[in-house]
Structure 1
Amino acid sequence: MPRVSELFFKTAIVFLIVGIAIGLHMAISQDHAAFPAHAHINLLGWVTSAIFGGYYALNPAKAARRIAMIHYGLYTLGLVVMLPALYLMLAKGNTAIEPVVATGSMIVAAAVLTFGFVVFSSEPVPTASGLKSAPR
């Protein structure tokens, strides 16, 4: 499995554990104020990261490109900035942290655009000599 796939899958599992923990905390405390953060952690952190990992596992040539690892780093950074801030904003009522949420969201958006570039870009076609030719 390509390294970027493995990283996305491992990161997805971490976010799944965090999302489940927050869900359990909300259920036990009967305080569901943070449910949007819980949903974002599960959808963006767990599901989307796993989908990215699956895409790269199915497209190893694209996974081998440097931009795939840039995508991973950018997306993970965006989530790490956005999700805790979103939780604090919603669960603790800390509206002053909203600019941090917005910054994280913009980083995530940039990462998604990066992934779009990866998906729509052509991969080089290997030649008999092992050198890469022009993209398909």
Structure 2
Amino acid sequence: MDRKFVMTALLYAVVGLALGIYMAASKDKGQLVTHAHIMLIGFVVTLSYALLHKLWLTNCYTTLAKAQFYVHQIGTIVLLIGLFLFFGQIVPLEQVDPILAIASITVFIGMVLMLILFIKSS
């Protein structure tokens, strides 16, 4: 699982940096929140999960570990798309807010699942 997390973390980093470069070049900081979330939830948290798997988790191919990976990825992708649509003024907050809420809770559940995996591994 550690390699899956590293691969997705690096993909998030590429997307986040590309968005950051675009914002700098266009002088339009409208997607700053989206950029920050891509880099933090997408890159930093996902890379942290990779390190936890590599350094501490011993049985990384359990159903719970796989579920945690997909819960985090789905929540993160939906959250980032929702933020991009909102801050790009494509979709109004009233429409995207419930999606952002569900995606945020999904990312939170992914974190709780990682905590459970870590505790079970100890």
Decide which structure has the larger Cα Rg and report it: 1
Q: Kindly provide the CA deviation profile for residues 13-36 of structure 1, in whole angstroms up to 9, marking residues without a partner as x.
A: 110011011101111111112111
Residue number among 53, 56, 60 corresponding to 1:59 in the alignment? 56
**Aligned equivalent of 2:2:** 5
Distance 2:72 2:84 in 1: 18
**1:106 aligned partner:** 105
Give runs of ≥4 in structure 1 deviating > 3 Å.
none
Letter in 2 for 1:34: Q
Taking CA–CA contacts closer than 8 Å with sequence separation of 6 or more, which of the two structures ends up with the larger relative contact order? 2
In structure 2, the residue matched to 1:85 is: 82
SS of the equivalent of 2:59 reads: helix
Higher helix share: 2
Shift of 1:61: 1.5
Unaligned 5+ runs, structure 1: 124-136
In structure 2, the CA distance between the partners of 1:60 and 1:112, relative to structure 1 (3 Å rule), is closer
Distance in 1, Cα, partners of 2:56 & 2:121: 11
Q: Match for residue 16 of structure 2?
A: 19
| Alignment: residue pair count | 120
Q: How many angstroms apart in 2 are the aligned matches of 1:102 and 1:53?
A: 25
- Normalization by structure 1: what TM-score? 0.82
Aligned twin of 1:32: 29
Q: Which amino acid aligns with 1:66?
A: T
Give the % identical residues: 25
Matched position secondary structure for 1:31: coil
More strand by share: 1
Partner of 2:120: 121
Structure 2: stretches of 5+ with no match in the other structure: none
RMSD: 1.4
Question: 1:88: how far off?
Answer: 1.2
Superposed CA offset, 1:106-135 (max 9, x none): 110111111111112246xxxxxxxxxxxx
The answer to which of 55-64 and 76-85 deviates more is: 55-64
User: Do the aligned partners of 2:9 and 2:43 also contact (CA within 8 Å) in 1?
Assistant: yes
Length-normalised TM-score, structure 2: 0.90
